Amino acid sequence: EQTMSYQGKKNIPKITSERLLIKGGRIVNDDQSFYADIYMEDGVIKQIGDNLIVPGGVKTIEADGKMVIPGGIDIHTHLQMPFRGTSTVDDFSQGTKAALAGGTTMIVDHVIPEPGSSLVEAFERWREWADEKVCCDYSLHVDITHLNDSVKQEVLSLIKEKGVNSFQVYMAFKDLYQMSNSELYEIFTFLGEHGGIAQVHAENGEIIAEEQARMLEMGITGPEGHVLSRPEELEAEAVFRAVTIASQTNCPLYVTRVMSKSAADIILQARKKGNVVFGEPITASLGTDGTHYWSKNWAKAASFVTSPPLSPDPTTPDYLNTLLASGDLSVVGSAHCTFSVAQKAIGKDDFTQIPEGVNGAEERMSVIWDKAVVTGKMDENMFVAVTSTNAAKILNLYPRKGRIAVGSDSDLVIWDTDATRTITAKTHHSAAEYNVFEGMELRGAPMLVICQGKIVLEDGNLHATAGTGRFIPCSPFPDFTYKRIKARKQLAILKAVPRGMYDGPVSEFSPMSRGGTPSASTRTSPTKAPLRNLHQSGFTLSGPEEAPIRPAGRRIVVPPGGRSNIISLS
Amino acid sequence: MSDSQSKCSTAQYFLCSKNCYVRKIPNQPRQKFCGMFCPVEGSVENKTLDFDLLSSGKGRVIQRQKDISKPRKVEIRRSTGKEILQNLNDEVRSDRLLIKGAKIVNDDQSFCADIYMEDGLIKQIGENLIVPGGVKTIDAHGRMVMPGGIDVHTRFQMPDRGMTAADDFYQGTRAALAGGTTMIIDHVVPEPGMTLISAFNQWREWADSKACCDYSLHVDITEWHKGVLEEMEALVKDHGVNSFLVYLAYKDVFQLTDSQIYEVFSVIRDLGAIAQVHAENGDIIVEEQRRILELGITGPEGHVLSRPEELEAEAVNRSVTVANQTNCPLYITKVMSKSAADVIAQARKKGTVVYGEPITASLGTDGSHYWSKNWAKAATYVTSPPLSPDPTTPDYLNSLLSCGDLQVTGSAHCTFNTAQRAVGKDDFTLIPEGTNGTEERMSIIWDKCVVTGKMDENQFVAVTSTNAAKIFNLYPRKGRIAVGSDADLVLWDPELTKIISAKSHNLAVEYNIFEGTEVRGSPLVVISQGKIVLEDGNLHTTEGSGRYVTRKPFPDYVYKRIKARSRLAELRGVPRGLYDGPVCEVSVTPKAMTPASSAKTSPAKQPDQPVRNLHQSGFSLSGAQIDDNIPRRNTQRIVAPPGGRTNITSLG
């Protein structure tokens, strides 16, 4: 138990002080742990060390050697997400309260512009919603749900003026959000040039649509149809494709919601080959599995519906925790997106209509502690890395966030490694009736949470205030991701081979494609375009009769070292 | 005969009796180099050389064998029995052949025995065979006799924008036979808009009139609609086709979408055929081509720069995924890179029914030549997927071929002469694609795999012939030396060495991508349809003698596993009580702004609806009273499931 005492005068008001001192804590960063006191003022860490000289009127927290870690960053939430005229049950207030209760002091939410609408307008709308309600600092990813030139301009202004540096594209949700490979290439190229991070929702939407139709035809309409129509291979395939395109375009890639072993394996292999790719497992994929889709309780089964789905393979969480511990997966989000049972019931007769999303903002830190640290997979420093520091580095928030250092924001958590709690919907801070971790006993919990230099959780009591959170802008070209990208850009300059002009015979050919097919431009149809009257072609195998007509403006240039006879047999 | 010539004489043939062969000497479009028929020392009285042939000047031996220390001996002689009379007027070659003292090499074992063939079939195998008189006998002297090679991938005479591949079915099959291949499977490429059947008939017509060895046909699916489905059915049922190729590349020409591929694969599985894919990501290639051209790179190096091997591996991975989903056997044509081969190897480890086909070019050379200063030479290597610039690729692919991760080898023989290639002299995307390899295929594999100890002779037979026959349901008629099998055989000389060169190859093109490569291992005698078509480097082929070989669907080798999985893959829904809790009210109609998305294909999230007035939504977070005013339809009954009704809205 930490004790609280007030130094100096006794008549300090009981409101949370702007000045805080944590004494006797073990500071745990992602690189090392050490004992020191921390003095905070105005929401910023001012001093770290022993025997600090602090002004009077400072609230002191005795940490008694307990771990003090940087507050968690939940890099993926969908709070207050609009859905067909309603919205998710956890709004920015409810959602950030749940996050704070779990030791997370910053969230990064996804802006989802309606396809065809303005990205900037959607961003502003989300800002408005969030500013009014958030209880902790936040930042925003913007999802690109359609593509045209004005979208690119908007992306640019979001990067340059609005403090957004990460954009998600969808490879699933056909005819809605899904992007074609060419569009992905275009977006990745653009983001790579302007210092953004490309996030992908990786699932093959085309095949999912086919599989969904098949499932429904077979009469499978329940939530099990959701996972049956989205096998993990389709997730892995899309990850593979995204990695390929990102590698082609030299753009940093961030795979949201890594839900299966196969998808994680692809990321692991890509990283081994040197790709700049980050994988984000979520609380649900680390803490539970997809066997619940077969629950006889429809509402329970439906509460697990999210995309990509939880894997029915019960060994998945352990595997993902291992890869997280080894550094092959980089960050953990919650993808917190909760719907009430009544909302989920929209899909009671058709699983494709069930609104998707699971809870996890509150449970995130504890699930990882319990599954990865208690089991000895990772140490406390790695725990800090995957729950906070890596996210801050990827989004260019480091070291303001994600580190306990002088000058950093005073978002801190005193972590109680011995605490044990049982997760249940009866006591969680989310508004949802179900909790996908229901009944799970987890070791490790926050004992005290400090957000913006204020104590927001102590003794299990939340003192969060809606609207106090600030929008934290993310600047482009984060060093953590772009140092390598920049180096590669310099290497990747391609050069043509200097050759003498070919001056031999040239065959006759018909460059136009035939009438039957829709006009394929010569440019995009690189090669074969056979013709019908092949036998009547004027071309003979014995050799062309006429010399090619050289355009008058062209000169045959002699390459250095003399002109090579370019049609001679070598 | 000079000394040097007699020294370099490698295969000394003893042609017994006079006029054993009257060769039909075809019109060779080009004869680049002619050696001399080397004399034979110690000729026996009853064996004479065919001097007529020698003096004709046309049918001379193409001397390719060099550097042979000891003379090789193969005796072909006429039986001296009485029956000789019946074959005296021997205008056509004998239909009865006996190979004595052969080491028969199948994919499973090697053993010594004699082989007796008649009417193009193997009739007897064993020792001391009782054979009729008038039989031509080949003395193998313990040399290997193996099933003739099957080149699973050729594109002879292929049309391309009004041009035609330089090697037609005659020239192409001749080259194949010269290399020890006695059957080819060519690709029918229907131009989009053309029916599959009419394209198939067109190819049949071309091949029937010209092919010198047996052949079969794959049909490429270049577009997808209902009519194509019916044609595929007809091809499988009436025309003996059991393999279809789809393209993941050639955007706006041949390329199909993932959904279309899913549907094609489903049809292929139902028909019992094999799904072949040309695996490259066409979308990204188009983007890269544009970028490369914008950079001012127009030469053949642009071809490989715009088609990096990752795009090949990606497409292989995607097709494996779709094949798994549809439970359809998959066959990857032209495995050109390490990454693509790795994806196949991994998929096989996970149990996918997938086969990989490296080609002669990817096994024998690499893509460094795209940077050749000689444009014409660089252009000769242009094929898709491209040869990998990584020079360790051939060795890697040969290793995977040896360990069974890759199964069959084709040549993807599709040759264009320099003038044809020059169509793309200012823009690499216009260069017609394809490389040679049908003649060199067997020797390259022997040299790279068997000589190096990666595989043994049996595995050699497997990857050059047997596996192909099994996958495409030709086994054991093809791909095996057994009684009843076709008499397509090769007498293989493992020590024969030759240097591949455009000067001596049997092709119509000016370049050979293996130019200057010295390979060990070559056919000494090739027998196709029971007739000797190659001996002593001399080809005795007959234009149009090749037969179309039909292939039945559901090859056991491929479909046993697929069938078992089909039975397992039945999915069932969970029997549940009807959900009778509250249902949230939502707007169903999509907003006017979004393009019409059908309910079926847009699975999950409808566009966030009236985004603006969200705060005024009637839905409240506090409870579920919202359904109170929704009238329950009276046709719905709440069914109690067996074991009592679960309270499906209760917690936990």
Phi-psi label, residue A173: left if phi above 0, alpha if psi -120 to 50, beta otherwise: left
Q: Round to whole Å and give the CA distance between A456 and A411.
A: 10
Q: What's the distance, Cα to Cα, between the start and end of chain B in Å?
A: 97
Q: Are B284 and B266 members of one domain?
A: yes
Q: Is residue B223 pLDDT above 90, yes or no?
A: yes
Share of chain B above pLDDT 70, in %: 76
pLDDT of residue B452: 94
Q: Is residue B374 pLDDT above 60, yes or no?
A: yes
For A360, residues 6+ apart whose C-beta sits below 8 A from its C-beta are A282, A283, A284, A287, A334, A335, A336, A367, A436, A437
> B254: which chain A residues are within 8 Å (Cβ-Cβ)?
528
CB-nearest to A570 from B318, B433, B515 is B515
> A213: which chain B residues are within 8 Å (Cβ-Cβ)?
600
Whether A101 is covered by a domain: the verdict is: yes
> B297: which chain A residues are within 8 Å (Cβ-Cβ)?
494-496
Q: Round to whole Å and give the CA distance between A30 and A27.
A: 10
Helix axis angle, B309-326 to B282-294, nearest 10°: 170
CB contact under 8 A, B576 and A204: no
Nearest Cα neighbor of A472 from A398, A363, A384 is A398
Nearest Cα neighbor of A108 from A474, A464, A383, A403 is A474
> B619: which chain A residues are within 8 Å (Cβ-Cβ)?
85-87
CA of A46 vs chain B CAs: smallest distance (Å): 40
CA of A543 vs chain B CAs: smallest distance (Å): 7
CA of B362 vs chain A CAs: smallest distance (Å): 20
Whether B158 is covered by a domain: the verdict is: yes
pLDDT of residue B72: 54
CB contact under 8 A, A114 and B611: yes
Whether B334 is covered by a domain: the verdict is: yes
CB contact under 8 A, A224 and B161: no
Do residues A254 and A278 lie in contact, with contact meaning Cβ atoms separated by under 8 Å? yes
Give B147-213 as a 3 state SS string: ECEEEEEECCCCEECCEECCCCHHHHHHHHHHCCEEEEEEEECCCCCCCHHHHHHHHHHHHHHHCCC
Number of domains in chain B: 2
CB contact under 8 A, B321 and A434: no
* DSSP per residue, A267-282: HHHHHHTT--EEEEEB
Give A133-197 as a 3 state SS string: HCCCEEEEEEEECCCCHHHHHHHHHHHHHCCCCEEEEECCCCCCCECCHHHHHHHHHHHHHHCCE
Host domain of residue B294:
147-564
Do residues B142 and B185 lie in contact, with contact meaning Cβ atoms separated by under 8 Å? no
CA of B143 vs chain A CAs: smallest distance (Å): 36
Could you identify the residue written with the tokens 């169509």? B423
> A523: which chain B residues are within 8 Å (Cβ-Cβ)?
289-290, 429
Q: Round to whole Å and give the CA distance between B130 and B200.
A: 44
E strand intervals along A410-542 = 412-422, 441-451, 454-458, 461-462
CA of B317 vs chain A CAs: smallest distance (Å): 7
For an interface test with B, the pick among A142, A170, A527 (most B C-beta atoms closer than 10 Å) comes out as A527
The torsion angles phi and psi of A221, rounded to 5 degrees, stand at -120, -10
Whether A463 is covered by a domain: the verdict is: yes
Whether B10 is covered by a domain: the verdict is: no
Instruction: Show which of B106, B126, B145 is a domain's final residue.
Output: B145
pLDDT tens digits along B587-638 = 764 433 333 333 333 333 333 333 333 343 333 333 333 433 433 333 333 3
Q: Round to whole Å and give the CA distance between A121 and A152.
A: 14
Q: Round to whole Å and give the CA distance between A515 and A454.
A: 72
In 3-state terms chain A splits into helix, strand, coil percentages (rounded to 5) of 30, 20, 50
Q: Is residue B536 pLDDT above 90, yes or no?
A: no
Segment B260-274 shows an average pLDDT of 97
CB-nearest to B259 from A91, A210, A527 is A210
Q: Are B133 and B203 members of one domain?
A: no
Whether B521 is covered by a domain: the verdict is: yes
- Could you tell me the pLDDT band of residue B94, with boundaries at 50, 70 and 90? low
User: Does B86 lie at the interface with A, CB-CB under 8 angstroms?
Assistant: no
Q: Which residue has the higher pLDDT, B553 or A531?
A: B553
The torsion angles phi and psi of A318, rounded to 5 degrees, stand at -60, -40
CB contact under 8 A, B583 and A348: yes
Q: Are B138 and B183 members of one domain?
A: no
User: Does B591 lie at the interface with A, CB-CB under 8 angstroms?
Assistant: yes
Number of domains in chain A: 1
pLDDT of residue A56: 85
Largest CA distance in chain B: 111
Whether B141 is covered by a domain: the verdict is: yes
Q: Do the strands B110-118 and B121-126 form a parallel or antiparallel pair, or are they unpaired?
A: antiparallel
For B90, residues 6+ apart whose C-beta sits below 8 A from its C-beta are B19, B20, B21, B22
Q: Determine the residue type at B89.
A: N
Whether A325 is covered by a domain: the verdict is: yes
Whether A528 is covered by a domain: the verdict is: no
User: Does B499 lie at the interface with A, CB-CB under 8 angstroms?
Assistant: no
Question: What tokens were used for B628?
Answer: 């109170």
Whether B323 is covered by a domain: the verdict is: yes
Q: Are B384 and B453 members of one domain?
A: yes
> A438: which chain B residues are within 8 Å (Cβ-Cβ)?
651-652
User: Does A551 lie at the interface with B, CB-CB under 8 angstroms?
Assistant: no
**Does an H or E element contain B96, and which?**
strand B96-105
Whether B65 is covered by a domain: the verdict is: no
Size of the A and B interface in Cβ pairs below 8 Å: 406
User: Does B422 lie at the interface with A, CB-CB under 8 angstroms?
Assistant: yes
Q: Are B445 and B492 members of one domain?
A: yes
Could you identify the residue written with the tokens 């793309």? B424
Q: Is the ipTM of this complex over 0.95?
A: no
The residues that bridge with A413 in the sheet, in sequence order, are A69, A449
CB contact under 8 A, A516 and B588: no
Q: Are B269 and B279 members of one domain?
A: yes
- Could you tell me the pLDDT band of residue B5, with boundaries at 50, 70 and 90? very low
pLDDT of residue B79: 55
Q: Is residue B84 pLDDT above 60, yes or no?
A: no
Q: Round to whole Å and give the CA distance between B337 and B349.
A: 19
Which of A 182-201 lie inside 8 A of B, CB atoms? 182, 185-186, 189
Host domain of residue A259:
68-491
| 0.90 exceeded by pTM | no
User: Does B646 lie at the interface with A, CB-CB under 8 angstroms?
Assistant: yes
> B377: which chain A residues are within 8 Å (Cβ-Cβ)?
570
Mean pLDDT for all residues in chain B:
81
Q: Are B409 and B346 members of one domain?
A: yes
Instruction: Show which of B507, B536, B564 is a domain's final residue.
Output: B564
CB contact under 8 A, A175 and B515: no
E strand intervals along B284-429 = 330-335, 354-358
Question: What tokens were used for A14?
Answer: 């009981």
Q: Are B219 and B106 members of one domain?
A: no
Q: Are B484 and B391 members of one domain?
A: yes
User: Does B637 lie at the interface with A, CB-CB under 8 angstroms?
Assistant: no
CB-nearest to B252 from A94, A294, A524 is A524
> A426: which chain B residues are within 8 Å (Cβ-Cβ)?
651
CB-nearest to A341 from B258, B649, B652 is B649
* CATH code of B517's domain: 3.20.20.140
Q: Is residue B418 pLDDT above 60, yes or no?
A: yes
* CATH code of A188's domain: 3.20.20.140
User: Does B651 lie at the interface with A, CB-CB under 8 angstroms?
Assistant: yes
Whether A199 is covered by a domain: the verdict is: yes
Nearest Cα neighbor of A77 from A102, A56, A106 is A106
> A174: which chain B residues are within 8 Å (Cβ-Cβ)?
601-603
Q: Round to whole Å and give the CA distance between B212 and B526.
A: 12
pLDDT tens digits along B185-217 = 999 999 878 999 999 999 999 999 999 999 999
Segment B307-335 shows an average pLDDT of 97
User: Does B644 lie at the interface with A, CB-CB under 8 angstroms?
Assistant: no
Whether B386 is covered by a domain: the verdict is: yes
Whether A229 is covered by a domain: the verdict is: yes
User: Does A86 lie at the interface with B, CB-CB under 8 angstroms?
Assistant: yes
Q: Are B395 and B362 members of one domain?
A: yes
> B641: which chain A residues are within 8 Å (Cβ-Cβ)?
296
Q: How many residues does chain A have?
A: 570
3 state DSSP class of A441: strand
pLDDT of residue B340: 97
Looking at residue B98, the DSSP 8-state letter turns out to be E
pLDDT of residue A495: 84
- Could you tell me the pLDDT band of residue B571, with boundaries at 50, 70 and 90? confident
pLDDT values of chain A reduced to their tens digit, one per residue, 570 residues:
344 444 444 444 444 458 999 999 999 999 999 999 999 999 999 999 999 999 888 999 999 999 999 999 999 999 999 998 899 999 999 999 999 999 999 999 999 999 999 999 999 999 999 999 999 999 999 999 999 999 999 999 999 999 999 999 999 999 999 999 999 999 999 999 999 999 999 999 999 999 999 999 999 999 999 999 999 999 999 999 999 999 999 999 999 999 999 999 999 999 999 999 999 999 999 999 999 999 999 999 999 999 999 999 999 999 999 999 999 999 999 999 999 999 999 999 999 999 999 999 999 999 999 999 999 999 999 999 999 999 999 999 999 999 999 999 999 999 999 999 999 999 999 999 999 999 999 999 999 999 999 999 998 899 999 999 999 999 999 999 999 999 988 887 788 888 888 888 888 887 644 333 333 333 333 333 333 333 433 333 333 333 333 333 333 333 333 344 444 433
CB-nearest to B608 from A83, A348, A517 is A83
User: Does A439 lie at the interface with B, CB-CB under 8 angstroms?
Assistant: yes
Q: Round to whole Å and give the CA distance between B578 and A296.
A: 10
Nearest Cα neighbor of B97 from B71, B70, B77, B73 is B77
Which of A 285-304 lie inside 8 A of B, CB atoms? 294-301
Q: How many CB atoms lie within 10 A of CB B24?
A: 14
Q: Are B226 and B297 members of one domain?
A: yes
* CATH code of B116's domain: 2.30.40.10
Nearest Cα neighbor of A443 from A377, A371, A384, A361 is A371
3 state DSSP class of B34: coil
> B168: which chain A residues are within 8 Å (Cβ-Cβ)?
541
Segment B281-301 shows an average pLDDT of 96
pLDDT of residue B588: 60
Q: Is residue B489 pLDDT above 90, yes or no?
A: yes
Q: Are B120 and B180 members of one domain?
A: no
User: Does A471 lie at the interface with B, CB-CB under 8 angstroms?
Assistant: no
pLDDT tens digits along B494-525 = 999 999 999 999 999 999 999 999 999 999 99
Segment B36-50 shows an average pLDDT of 32
E strand intervals along B179-323 = 181-188, 214-221, 243-247, 274-278
CB contact under 8 A, A210 and B254: no
Q: Round to whole Å and give the CA distance between A132 and B325.
A: 46
User: Does A520 lie at the interface with B, CB-CB under 8 angstroms?
Assistant: yes
Do residues A112 and A81 lie in contact, with contact meaning Cβ atoms separated by under 8 Å? yes
**Does an H or E element contain A24, and which?**
strand A19-28
Task: Find the residue in A nearest to B593 (Cα).
Answer: A116
Give B58-92 as a 3 state SS string: CCCCCCCECCCCCCEEEEEEECCCHHHHHHCCCCC
Q: Is B409 exposed, middle or buried (0-12, 13-18, 19+ CB in 10 A)?
A: buried
Whether A509 is covered by a domain: the verdict is: no
CB contact under 8 A, A82 and B161: no
Whether A487 is covered by a domain: the verdict is: yes
Question: What tokens were used for A419?
Answer: 């605490």
Q: Round to whole Å and give the CA distance between A525 and B283.
A: 11
